[in-house]
């Protein structure tokens, strides 16, 4: 797996706060990579560090083979960090023309193309003064993409967007990765969106990576057997600490291969099973478990 960003022991402290705490992570080239984590986990600090906006206290990273801030790699990167601000008296098109000049020229055909692709074609000649947060985000994404980068870093690209906007942004991000070969690294709190759009994720907590992997592997690992049973108390006794409650049903956290043995043990223990089916974990379950924000402890002791 070719690496596009290689982070080794990156640390950033603000007084007593360790925003990044010896972070080590390899982000592969190609596809969409999600950085998740609760507020204050260090996501924006990582992005700012990778973009050379802040200096790490310790550690290092390589981006497309070069050190942080190397002009050759910076030229191949696009980014949007937080809701972008643009001169309010310019139209969306003029903003892109202005930024395009700074990048050594982007043609008007290319600007039309990107305005269209981010869904701003109709608003192209409106002044950005009247733009909503979602429209500014779209314009920011167009600005990040129009220089045809190989790597794009997007911090919360869909915050402030309405559901159709989120859907369009998801389609755009996927198509950039699938059809244009761009590597996208994004941070987001919208876990359902991340599950739909990302190939891999890293979950941060307190400046460290607590879990990393393919979204499909992480969610498959959290798969559980959902059982509608009577009597409930007997099923809980048979399953022990592998059980939690989901409404009136029991969730058994066991590998798929052990499913038949678990069902046999329940039946032999005098439990009637009305329904049994496997349910996948979603990224939200994985996130809650990995960041320690879970009600599972209480559920395990219920009943």
Ligand X SMILES: Nc1ncnc2c1ncn2[C@@H]1O[C@H](COP(=O)(O)OP(=O)(O)OP(=O)(O)O)[C@@H](O)[C@H]1O
CB of 107 to ligand X, least distance (A): 35
Query: Per CB under 6 A, which region of 14-22, 102-110, 173-181, 271-279 contacts ligand X?
Result: 14-22
CB-nearer residue toward ligand X: 127 or 189: 189
CB-nearer residue toward ligand X: 55 or 214: 55
Binding to ligand X by residue 72, rule CB under 6 A?
no
CB of 45 to ligand X, least distance (A): 3
CB of 39 to ligand X, least distance (A): 3
CB of 191 to ligand X, least distance (A): 13
CB of 19 to ligand X, least distance (A): 3
Site string for ligand X, 31-50 (x = CB under 6 A): ------x-xxxxxxx-----
SS (H, E, C) the chain: CCEEEEEEEEEEEECCEEEEEEEEEEEECCCEEEEECCCCCCHHHHHHHHCCCCCCCEEEEEECCEECCCHHHHCCEEEECCCCCCCCCCEHHHHHHHHHHHCCCCCHHHHHHHHHHCCCCCCCCCEHHHCCHHHHHHHHHHHHHCCCCCEEEEECCCCCCCHHHHHHHHHHHHHHHHHCCCEEEEECCCHHHHHHHCCEEEEEECCEEEEEEEHHHHHHHCCEEEEEEECHHHHHHHHHHHEEEECCEEEECCCHHHHHHHHHHHHHCCCEEEEEEEECCCHHHHHHHHCCCCCHHHHHCCC
CB-nearer residue toward ligand X: 113 or 206: 206
CB-nearer residue toward ligand X: 19 or 50: 19
CB-nearer residue toward ligand X: 9 or 30: 9
CB-nearer residue toward ligand X: 40 or 59: 40
Binding to ligand X by residue 17, rule CB under 6 A?
yes
Binding to ligand X by residue 220, rule CB under 6 A?
no
Q: Give me the residues that bind ligand X (CB under 6 A), please.
A: 14, 17, 19, 37, 39-45
């Amino acid at each position: 797996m070719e690496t596009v960003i290689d982070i080794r022991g990156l640390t950033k402290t603000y007084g007593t706060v360790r925003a990044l705490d010896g972070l080590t992570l390899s982000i592969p080239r190609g596809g969409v990579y999600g950085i998740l984590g609760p507020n204050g986990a260090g996501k924006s600090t990582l992005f700012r560090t990778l973009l050379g906006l802040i200096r790490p206290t310790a550690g290092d990273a390589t981006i497309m083979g070069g050190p942080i801030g190397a002009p050759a790699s910076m030229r191949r990167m696009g980014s949007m960090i937080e809701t972008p601000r643009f001169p309010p008296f310019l139209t969306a098109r003029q903003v892109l023309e202005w930024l395009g000049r700074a990048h050594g020229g982007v043609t008007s055909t290319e600007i039309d193309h990107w305005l269209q692709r981010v869904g701003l074609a109709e608003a192209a000649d409106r002044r950005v003064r009247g733009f909503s947060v979602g429209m500014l985000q779209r314009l920011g994404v167009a600005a990040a993409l129009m220089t045809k980068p190989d790597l794009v870093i997007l911090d919360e690209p869909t915050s402030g967007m309405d559901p159709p906007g989120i859907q369009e942004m998801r389609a755009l991000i996927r198509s950039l990765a699938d059809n244009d070969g761009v590597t996208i690294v994004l941070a987001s709190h919208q876990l359902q969106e991340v599950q739909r759009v990302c190939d891999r994720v890293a979950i941060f907590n307190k400046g460290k990576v607590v879990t990393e992997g393919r979204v499909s592997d992480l969610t498959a690992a959290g798969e559980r057997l959902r059982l509608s049973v009577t009597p409930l108390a007997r099923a809980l006794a048979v399953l022990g600490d592998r059980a939690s409650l989901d409404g009136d049903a029991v969730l058994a956290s066991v590998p798929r291969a052990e499913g038949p043995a678990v069902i046999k043990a329940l039946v032999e223990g005098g439990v009637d099973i009305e329904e049994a089916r496997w349910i996948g974990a979603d990224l939200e379950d994985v996130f809650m478990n990995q960041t320690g924000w879970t009600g599972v402890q209480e559920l395990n002791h219920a009943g």
